[in-house]
Amino acid sequence: MFRFRSVILRTLLTFILIIGAHSQHVYQKGTFVSFPAGKHVNHSYYSTWNIYFAVEDGVIVYNHHKGDWLDPITASNGLSQYPVLRVWQNAGTQDVWMVTPDFVFVYDELADWMSKIPLPADPKFSGTYEIGISHAYVIVSASSQESVGKYSTLFSKTAGTFENWGANTDLDIDWEAVEWIHSVSDGLMDIYESLPVQKVRDGSFDSEGKLHLDGHPRNSLGVVSSLTGERDAGESFLSTYGMGIFHQDIHGGEFTSLPYGLLSPDVMALDIYEEKLVIGGRAGLTYMDSTTFEYDEAIRDIAWDYSFISDIDVRAEELLIAAKGGVFRQSQTQGSWERVLTKKDLTSDRIYSVAIGQGGNIMVATERNAYLYHESGSILQTLFPTGLNWPVFDINYKAGRFYLSTYYGLYIYDEASLQFNSKVNSSGEILPISEDAASDPIYESVIVGDMLWASTHRGLLKVNLLSKAGGFHLSPNTPFKPRGLAAAGKSIWIGTDIGLYSFNSKSSSWRHYTVNDGLISSFITDLIMKDGYIWAGTNLGLTRIKWKNLY
């Protein structure tokens, strides 16, 4: 009877939340799935089937029975504030409770619905949060050096609603009966205290229990944030601030890395290499294959400094990246990186784009010019006049031609003749080549069949490369700030700093998607198509979009 009433109450609450929610679009579950960074873990909870890890940009979920990662809980599920500081799962109702600086979020895993409840906006309720469970309540306690004693907020464990808050001494709670979800599980305290002598594959703990991984600088240490698991199941899971998650077979086993999520949340470039999604960011590269993640951390090779990866290009088996230390190519024989060009070689501070051509040609775009380089070691030429800064935002290569999107229009460079053969303006008109420096910014291009599409500050241009006929489609929001361009079905997808736009080429109609639809952030940095999904890189992580489900 109690369970029946609980279901009715939950249904009523869900109905009220649906009516009251504003600007929230509901799509089929799995339409938007986001992947946060998984290196910085604040807290963890070992439940009946899953382990929940509270990370900076959401909660990542591991099925410890099957040994599989599940879809994480992020902004795509309605989690609208970060970081997640504490996490707990109610195995009976299958609700996941998440504590952020200002809210408690309750995620119904069955209904795929998120509720948000504000925490008390009172100076007394501040500081370090703890989460505890009683028979009737989920309790969030706060304590700070400025306050005498603890203050707690009570939430109904079954209805997921706010009930009361105040000083612990004033609340009608049997505090001795409260089960606190500590960072270190009570049954694993002996392992935590013995961390200095515990074994780690490809690493070690120091005398204070801090983690060091082989290949990292000696002063690079990871502080342990939580240790959870179950002794009867024979496993423990150790989380760190900055070095990710590690799994241990308690019966004499060593800790081994359990990688998940991005190396860093800021996605700066995307491409596909050996059927894996390659994500470039501030800290290096993440290789993603379904739910398997591998990392190439720039910190492991400080001499080259391939951090802050601004672009990636792949041609056949060759992988090229633009980074803080220059342009790098991955050695096919040794699997290591070799530097092709430095920024000093290019007399530039920023590298925007790289593109691999045929016969050893590489083209590089910077804030000053574009450069054609040959793998023999010679820079063949600077492509635009050197007396004027000529920003080149993107280079796209296809069938013997480089398509250069610049501040002064789009230029088509023929690889065989080593010269420009045409120019396209932002209205989609093909013009003769000139050194006219009239501002006409074009940001990125994509070729679909015989049609060239490119993003501009006003919208989207198109040119039929055979008939030379062109046109222009004005965006619904101007000025347009495009970042990323991809084609899927009859639509062209454009990333911007205010969300993702799609343009249907058949109906000439625009659609706009933001965090309210399921993006982890509305600040898009790059786009790519893979496995029937659009992958949107953002400043806060990566979102996978099943575009056929959108309307």
Does the pLDDT of residue 208 top 70, yes or no? yes
Nearest Cα neighbor of 538 from 269, 261, 311, 260 is 269
Average pLDDT over residues 146-168: 89
Question: Percentage of the chain surpassing pLDDT 70?
Answer: 93
57-100 pLDDT, tens per residue?
999 999 999 999 999 999 999 999 999 999 999 999 999 999 99
Does the pLDDT of residue 255 top 70, yes or no? yes
Residue 248 has φ and ψ, to the nearest 5°, of -135, 135
Q: Which of 143-147, 199-203, 322-326, 516-520 shows the lowest mean pLDDT across its residues?
A: 143-147
SS (H, E, C) 214-250: CCCCCCCCEEEEEEEEECCCCEEEEEEECCCEEEEEC
Give the full edge-to-edge strand order of the sheet including 86-90: 86-90, 95-99, 103-108, 113-118
424-472 pLDDT, tens per residue?
999 999 998 876 678 999 999 999 999 999 999 999 999 999 999 999 9
Q: Are 247 and 239 in contact (CB under 8 A)?
A: no
Does the pLDDT of residue 333 top 80, yes or no? no
CATH 2.130.10.10 given to domain 36-181: yes
Does the pLDDT of residue 154 top 50, yes or no? yes
Name residue, tokens 């062109």. 470
Contacts of 287 (CB under 8 A, 6+ apart): 273, 276, 277, 278, 279, 293, 294, 295, 296
Residue 18: pLDDT band with limits 50, 70, 90: very low
pLDDT of residue 25: 58
Residue 332: pLDDT band with limits 50, 70, 90: low
Distance of alpha carbon 67 from alpha carbon 65, whole angstroms: 6
Does the pLDDT of residue 486 top 90, yes or no? yes
Task: Estimate the share of the chain in helix, then strand, then coil, as percent rounded to the nearest 5.
Answer: 10, 50, 40
DSSP assignments along 38-103, one per residue: -SBEEEEEE-SSEEEEEETTEEEEEETTTTEEEEEESGGGT--S----EEEEETTTTEEEEE-SSE
Q: How many residues belong to the chain?
A: 551
> How far is C-alpha 337 from the chain's CA centre?
24
**Helices then strands, each counted (H, E), the chain:** 2, 49
Terminal-to-terminal C-alpha distance of the chain: 41
pLDDT of residue 217: 84
- For the record, the structure tokens of 309 come out as 């990866």
Does the pLDDT of residue 535 top 70, yes or no? yes
In the DSSP assignment, the letter for residue 37 is B
Name residue, tokens 């120091």. 206
Does the pLDDT of residue 302 top 80, yes or no? no
Name the 3-class secondary structure at 170: helix
Q: Which of 23-27, 316-320, 330-334 shows the lowest mean pLDDT across its residues?
A: 23-27
Kindly state the helix (H) or strand (E) to which residue 190 belongs, with its residue range.
Answer: helix 189-193
Residues β-bridged to residue 227: 184, 238
Name residue, tokens 């489609």. 473
Distance of alpha carbon 467 from alpha carbon 13, whole angstroms: 59
Average pLDDT over residues 172-188: 94
Average pLDDT over residues 308-323: 93
Average pLDDT over residues 201-213: 94
Q: Are 137 and 179 in contact (CB under 8 A)?
A: no
pLDDT of residue 480: 82
Distance of alpha carbon 495 from alpha carbon 483, whole angstroms: 5
Contacts of 482 (CB under 8 A, 6+ apart): 443, 444, 455, 456, 457, 494, 495, 496
Using left for φ > 0, alpha for ψ between -120 and 50, and beta otherwise, residue 334 falls in alpha
- For the record, the structure tokens of 201 come out as 């594959």
pLDDT of residue 317: 81
Question: Percentage of the chain surpassing pLDDT 90?
Answer: 76
Does the pLDDT of residue 4 top 80, yes or no? no
Give burial (CB, 10 Å; 0-12/13-18/19+) of 397: buried
Provide the pairing of β-strand 179-180 with 409-414: unpaired
Q: Are 489 and 547 in contact (CB under 8 A)?
A: yes
Average pLDDT, the chain: 90
Contacts of 507 (CB under 8 A, 6+ apart): none
pLDDT of residue 6: 39
Exposure b/e, 104-113, CB count within 10 A at least 16 = b: bbbbbbeebb
234-247 pLDDT, tens per residue?
899 999 999 999 99
- Look up the pTM and report it: 0.90
- Give, in degrees to the nearest 5, the angle at Cα 221 between 217 and 224: 160
Contacts of 362 (CB under 8 A, 6+ apart): 320, 327, 340, 354, 355, 356, 372, 373, 374, 375
Does the pLDDT of residue 147 top 50, yes or no? yes
Using left for φ > 0, alpha for ψ between -120 and 50, and beta otherwise, residue 153 falls in beta
